[in-house]
Amino acid sequence: MNPSSHTPHFQKPRNLLASFPLILVCLLITALVTAFGGILYFGIPALEKLYLWFIPRHLTPISSSYMLLGFCALGIATLISLSNSKTWVKLLAIFIAGIIIHYSFGLAKGNINFIKDRMVNTGHATYVRLAANTPSIPEFLSNFESLAKSGALGDYAPTKPPGTSLVYLFSDRLLSTVEDDPKIRATRIINFSTYTWPAISYLPVFLIFLFGRSVVGKDNAILASLLYITIPAMNLINLHTDQTFYPLISLLCAFTLFKAFALNKAVLAFVSGVLFFGVSYLSFGMLPLGVVFFGALLLAYRPTISLKLIPLFAIGFVLPWLILYIAFDYNHYFRYVQALAKHHNTKGWEGTWQVFREANTTNVVEYCVWIGLPLATCFIYGLLTSWQFFNKHRLYFLLTLSLLASLALIIMFGKTKSETARLWMYLNPYVCLIAAVAIDSLTQKSQLARKRFVVFIALSQYAVNALILRYMDFI
């Protein structure tokens, strides 16, 4: 049967494990949020004792009025998403609420400069200075490796392909000319990003729905979009390409690839190949998910797809690679090797079993904290119970398997020491889709129970956002 021939409705199979009923999940979430709050409020160094915990406890003065504004925005979006309103009204309400929450948390710290800070004082401000002082984009691309080797690109740009730097360079060219003073150019980039990037960062709300409605069903896709705006990492790690662009282009690539297989469209296969290269040109870290998801779609649609889709996807991926190689002498594979070496050198990866075990324990705990412990609980529940949808909802099962396999690849070969709150943000949309199905599974017997549980999750997630902002804000 064609995996997209109907809209999925996720009811729990009769033999669903009875160890995770709704009441126990609620109690677990309550206990986790309470314990997390206690650890931060009383200064218990439980998290800091983890190997290379990235952000230590520190107090951030916050305004209660702006926190209330963000709370009201999330509350209204939650109620609208659970109402009988039209789908576009629900998605628009969620999108607008996400933007309001984002600015509310930034302004709660004082003023708009606290949002700009990521591009002014932190390490990633080097991208802005690089863009404001680069006279020629073609020369920048042609000399990327020599610039990286000389140290002219700073510490961050050499750990990635040129795509991330180009985001800032294109912003600079849009706003200024090369004759303008670099300080003025940098200020324009910062101001432009401050007022546009937050809106861009919540565009995945719409793509989550478009992609998810065929995989997890319409209601669950809307719920996943709502969950997305409750993620602390999305709301508190602002003005980073990881937060603004990576989830968006990752979703766009996955959605286009899914449609290519579902509709058996050659053009979409080619376009998805180009987008997949674009994903890798922004960040090599997103490659595992793309590769695994491609394999999952092959398994899902193997009986019905045309074999020409595979070479067309490959052509779409290789063509921009060749164009960049011919035009700018850019070798994508060589850049991957160099970026990986720089990343490992920056993180100081020793390669012992003890480092592997302790670093990845920190990585997983940090990611769970920064997506929100309530969401993480639902996500883990969804992973643990996904096997029961193997026959009835094969495509959803393969999505969960893809994400699990991607996480395994990232853990085994990523060689990252902490900061996964930022580095793994492109996974967040898929986490929300799986968590939405978990919520549906837990509450399928009652619409009232579903609405109450969704409100409970939204409130709990907001509490985690507030705790992190107050005691562990991203620095």
Q: What is the pLDDT of residues 322-371, one digit of tens each?
A: 999 999 999 999 999 998 888 777 767 777 888 889 999 999 999 999 99
**The residue type at 464:** V
pLDDT tens, residue by residue, 100-115: 999 999 999 998 988 8
Task: Indicate the domain borders of the chain.
Answer: 22-110+203-471, 113-202
Percent of the chain with pLDDT over 70: 95
Q: Which residue has the tokens 């968590």?
A: 435
CA distances from 231 to 210, 358, 424, 431 (A): 20, 25, 13, 10
Per-residue model confidence (pLDDT) at position 5: 42
CA distances from 363 to 188, 359, 453 (A): 35, 6, 28
Residues 166-189, mean pLDDT to the nearest whole number: 93
Q: Angle at CA 369, nearest 5°, toward 252 and 350?
A: 90
**In 10 A of CB 232, how many CB atoms?**
26
**Residue 151: pLDDT band with limits 50, 70, 90:** confident
Residue 383: pLDDT over 50: yes
Q: Check: pTM over 0.75? Answer yes or no.
A: yes
**The residue type at 292:** V
Cβ atoms of residues 77 and 97 within 8 Å: yes
Per-residue model confidence (pLDDT) at position 8: 58
Q: Which of 456, 444, 402 is nearest to 211 (CA)?
A: 402
pLDDT tens, residue by residue, 413-427: 877 888 899 999 999
Q: Please, what is the average pLDDT of the chain? A: 90
Return the top range by mean pLDDT from 103-117, 126-140, 171-185, 223-237. Answer: 223-237
Of 13-27, 71-85, 169-183, which gets the smallest average pLDDT? 13-27
Per-residue model confidence (pLDDT) at position 465: 98
Alpha helices by DSSP H, 302-446: 309-328, 332-347, 353-371, 373-385, 394-413, 420-423, 428-442
- SS3 letters across the chain: CCCCCCCCCCCCCCCCCCCCCHHHHHHHHHHHHHHHHHHHHCCCCCCCCCCCCCCCCCCCCCCHHHHHHHHHHHHHHHHHHCCCCCHHHHHHHHHHHHHHHHHHHHHHCCCCHHHHHHHHCCCCHHHHHHHHCCCCHHHHHHCHHHHHHHCCCCCCHHHCCCHHHHHHHHHHHHHCCCCCCHHHHHHHHHHHHHHHHHHHHCCHHHHHHHHHCCCCCHHHHHHHHHHHCCCHHHHHCCCCHHHHCHHHHHHHHHHHHHHHHHHCCHHHHHHHHHHHHHHHHHCHHHHHHHHHHHHHHHHHHCCCCCCCHHHHHHHHHHHHHHHHHHHHCCCHHHHHHHHHHHHHHHHCCCCCHHHHHHHHHHHHHHHHHHHCHHHHHHHHHHHHHHHHHCCCCHHHHHHHHHHHHHHHHHHHHCCCCCCHHHHCHHHHHHHHHHHHHHHHHHCCCCHHHHHHHHHHHHHHHHHHHHHHHHHCCCC
| First-to-last C-alpha distance (Å) of the chain | 50
Residue 285: pLDDT over 50: yes
Per-residue model confidence (pLDDT) at position 229: 98
Q: Which two tokens stand for residue 325?
A: 């190689």
Of 85-89, 201-205, 405-409, which gets the smallest average pLDDT? 405-409
Report d(CA 191, CA 121) in Å as an integer: 14
Per-residue model confidence (pLDDT) at position 9: 57
**Residue 4: pLDDT band with limits 50, 70, 90:** very low
199 dihedral zone (left: phi>0; alpha: psi -120 to 50; beta):
alpha
Per-residue model confidence (pLDDT) at position 444: 77
Residues 220-246, mean pLDDT to the nearest whole number: 96
Per-residue model confidence (pLDDT) at position 1: 40
Contacts of 126 (CB under 8 A, 6+ apart): 153, 154, 155, 156, 157
Residues 118-141, mean pLDDT to the nearest whole number: 88
